[in-house]
Amino acid sequence: MIILSGPSGSGKTTISKELLSNIPKLDLSISCTTRRMRNNEQDKKDYYFISEKQFLSKINKNQFVEWEEVYKNLYYGTLKSEIYRIWNNNRHILFDIDVKGSINIKKKYPNKSLSIFIMIQSLNILKYRLINRNTENFHKIKIRLKRAKKENNLSCLFDFILPNINWYDTKKKVVNIVKNFLSKKNDIGVTGFEPATARPPDVNSNQSELHPD
């Protein structure tokens, strides 16, 4: 399992696309969300777009391996069935999810997973990137910036922290780290870069039961 995280706008989705095109045995875990579909998105490809009622019902039925109310009244979560779908196809899973969700997955699968944090260079750069992306209004951008500041402080709980200073370099480094990890039968022991601190503690986990490991 590869867990890619970082603040919204850090570039992790672009990096996850790079990973998917370079490593054919990787499959993206498609999350559920209650947010509205954007113009450039497709249901069941970018997300499973569902209503809040459907999302809450899935929580009650314990169908998520992790979920978060990432923004007020906006829920995001990874279905257990999604993990089985990918494993049953004999492929490795790539998660592109928020920081808390990543830490929770890492905690559930400490030896099967590698977690990578894409660090933003500065809040100003992130602000301009989000404005240019043009997917959120200014109020929502402000909320995302506030959240990014908090998320950067949790980066030390990841196996690797990579500052996204140069796109080309960052993408190359991530692909190498992931290839190395997968070639070592999922043991963490990647050389060439300094891992961050070892094991994550509990981070506001809202899920009780562990998915079978």
Which residues are near ligand 5GP by CB under 6 A?
8, 31, 35, 66, 68, 70, 76-78, 96-98, 101
Select 110 or 180, whichever has its Cβ closest to ligand 5GP.
110
The nearest distance, CB 194 to ligand 5GP, in angstroms, is 24
Give the amino acid at 14. T
Select 118 or 177, whichever has its Cβ closest to ligand 5GP.
118
The nearest distance, CB 52 to ligand 5GP, in angstroms, is 15
Q: Nearest residue by C-beta to ligand 5GP?
A: 101
The nearest distance, CB 96 to ligand 5GP, in angstroms, is 5
Q: Report d(CA 210, CA 153) in Å as an integer.
A: 26
The nearest distance, CB 192 to ligand 5GP, in angstroms, is 26
The nearest distance, CB 183 to ligand 5GP, in angstroms, is 26
The nearest distance, CB 106 to ligand 5GP, in angstroms, is 12
Longest dimension (CA), the chain: 47
- ∠ CA 172-136-72, rounded to 5°: 100
Residues sharing a CB contact under 8 Å with residue 182, sequence separation 6 or more, in sequence order:
2, 23, 25, 92
Select 74 or 180, whichever has its Cβ closest to ligand 5GP.
74
Select 140 or 180, whichever has its Cβ closest to ligand 5GP.
140
Give the Cβ contact number of residue 125 at 10 Å: 14
Note whether 65 and 211 are within 8 A (CB).
yes
Select 18 or 98, whichever has its Cβ closest to ligand 5GP.
98
Select 40 or 191, whichever has its Cβ closest to ligand 5GP.
40
Q: Which of 3, 6, 19 is nearest to 176 (CA)?
A: 19
Note whether 177 and 191 are within 8 A (CB).
no
β-strand pairing of 48-49 with 92-96: unpaired
Note whether 30 and 78 are within 8 A (CB).
no
